[in-house]
Amino acid sequence: MPNLRFIGGIAWMAVTIAGCGAATPPSAQTPMPSEPTLINYVDPSVVQGLNTRTLFSGETGNRHVHAVYPAVADAPRLTEKLHGIVSEELDRFTRHGAPALPKPEFNVDWQLAAASPEVLGVRLRIGRSMESGWNESRTTVWYDRTKRRALDSADLLTGRPALVTLAGVVRGELALRGPLVTPNALRPDREMFDSLGFNPRGDLVVEFDDEQVGLGVAGRVAVAVPSATAAPLLSELGLRAQRAAVRAKRVPVPTSQEEIEAASTDKPPARSSKAGSVDCAKLRCVALTYDDGPGPETSRLLDTLRAHGARATFFSIGSNASARPDLLRRMRDEGHLVANHTWSHRDLTMLPSSKIADQLTRAQHTIAQTLGQVPALMRPPYGDSDIQVAAIAGRLNMAVVRWNVDSEDRQDADPQAIADRTVTRAEPGAIVLLHDSHPATVDAAPEILRRLSAAGYTFVTVPELYGSGEMVPGRIYESGGVSTALDR
């Protein structure tokens, strides 16, 4: 069983789902969260028609980029607005990034701040590496489902006078925070109040970008304005958003070493349901691996793999998996293997050990709860690993999987070119890097499968390349029969 005892005091972010039934108005009887500025996020899988869109994931120039945002089928204007925000931020980073850094990185993570038949709230967390270190900005976009409008957070307020009043309340609270915070930097500008949400009690949570109203070492700065104070300032949309946020219910998640272990003890390691049906010592085997999903293209790829009797290994991002658990279950049921690709695709080699563990365990928890199986493989984003990453993966009972054949599909929109590179470079025992988030890669799949099948290849999951031998946790695997053990 995965040994998670080493995690110790790592804090788990609460996972929440939307509640059912009538809305409960904010009340003083509602328990105050332990940290009042924490927002009660909604499980994205309960929102019908929600999928994820990948603007870009991979390396561009000398920069690491992973930019994903949600898309809801019946809210095209929300999707358009989110795309515009992420595109603008990525363009700004590309033009004005920090090329002097060894690995400049841009990363977009997201959560649902609220979801109801009337309103949706999407919180974007945009991180970028700067000369001074990692810096995050936060933006929450609201969608009025009744009027089909995508709006800024400031539109939760009744107007300019309400914004001025709110700024005064928040400034007064910031003045009590000590020398790391600079209340005088706060202005009643819409741009400064671009991330508004609500905690489970209905208090208005105002959060700021790093270094916007404080020193960098202050980290995330946020203020919870009591519901009674905030209510007169809220517009009709704001009141609906508040009700939707209060309606969300918490889901119990492991918060201690014992609970974490108990959540995994009844789940076996993930294994293809067809493992053992092929002897790769006698056949020409190749392992196709797909990163960064699941997403809108994954279902089409699964159709293609099923039509060709092929199976693959899917290194899934935890945040995407939480949005499309149905696709993870289909992968499992059709003989594929689901593995861990971290929660939000951060470069693990640039993180401290606690955040590496958090990236892996959050994804591990989501996948295991969905499938009833615990991933035994992980792939580090961008393929970047080191002794610390391998050691933490090993303690979580996961082998580290890289590749020896790169389809170079991430920046290529030509399916034929992707297929040609993959087929030309394939060899027995190869681990092939592909991405199910990329439409052209999915378009190339039938050609790849047809040509490699004609060349006598059999398509297997990664562990099948190694036959009866177990893949060792903490080892790095790049092709069939080859692994690297790092001192730990």
In a domain, 222, yes or no: yes
CATH number at residue 280: 3.20.20.370
Residue 435 falls within a domain, yes or no? yes
Residues 319, 220: one domain? no
- Is residue 341 assigned to a domain? yes
Instruction: Tally the residues of the chain.
Output: 488
- Would 41 be classed as within a structural domain? yes
Same domain, 227 and 349: no
- Write down the pLDDT at residue 99: 56
Cβ–Cβ < 8 Å for 467, 279:
yes
Domain match, 101 and 185 both: yes
Q: Does the annotation mark 203 as catalytic?
A: no
**pLDDT for the residue numbered 480:** 77
Which of 187, 220, 247 corresponds to the end of one domain?
247
Q: Which residue of the set 144, 291, 436, 443 is catalytic?
A: 291
Q: Is residue 215 included in any domain, yes or no? A: yes
Same domain, residue pair 373 and 243: no
Q: Is there a catalytic annotation at residue 435?
A: yes
Asked whether residue 2 is domain-assigned, the answer is no
Hey, what are 31's tokens? Answer: 């328990």
pLDDT tens, the chain, 488 aa long = 444 333 333 333 333 323 333 333 334 344 444 589 998 789 999 999 999 999 999 988 789 999 999 999 999 999 999 999 999 999 999 887 555 677 899 999 999 999 999 999 999 999 998 777 899 999 999 999 999 999 999 999 999 999 999 999 999 999 999 999 999 999 999 999 999 999 999 999 999 999 999 887 888 999 999 999 999 999 999 999 999 999 876 555 555 444 544 565 578 999 999 988 999 999 999 999 999 999 999 999 999 999 999 999 999 999 999 999 999 999 999 999 999 999 999 999 999 999 999 999 999 999 999 999 999 999 999 999 999 999 999 999 999 999 999 999 988 999 999 999 999 999 999 999 999 999 999 999 999 999 999 999 999 999 999 987 789 999 999 987 655 665 43
Q: Which helix (H) or strand (E) holds 143?
A: strand 133-144
**Number of helices and strands in the chain (H, E):** 12, 21
Q: Tell whether 241 and 266 lie within a shared domain.
A: no
CA–CA gap between residue 22 and residue 9 (Å, rounded): 37
- Say if 420 falls within a structural domain: yes
Same domain, yes or no: 107 and 241: yes
Distance of alpha carbon 196 from alpha carbon 208, whole angstroms? 9
State the DSSP string of 257-317. Answer: HHHHHHHHHT-PBP--TTTTS--TTTSEEEEEEEES--STTHHHHHHHHHHTT---EEEE-
Residue ending a domain, choose from 247, 281, 297: 247
Backbone angles phi, psi at 55, to 5 degrees: -70, -45
The model's pTM:
0.89
pLDDT at 14: 34
* Beta-bridge partners for 377: 399
Residue ending a domain, choose from 247, 279, 311:
247
Residues 273 and 243 in one domain: no
For the chain, how many structural domains are there in total? 2
**Angle formed by the axes of helices 387-395 and 353-371, nearest 10°:** 40
Q: Residue 233 sits in a domain of what CATH number? A: 3.30.565.40
Domain residues for 219?
19-247
**Would residue 151 count as lying in a domain?**
yes
Q: Which of 435, 436, 438, 443 is catalytic?
A: 435
**Which residues have C-beta within 8 Å of that of residue 376, sequence separation ≥ 6?**
269, 270, 271, 339, 397, 398, 399, 463, 471, 473
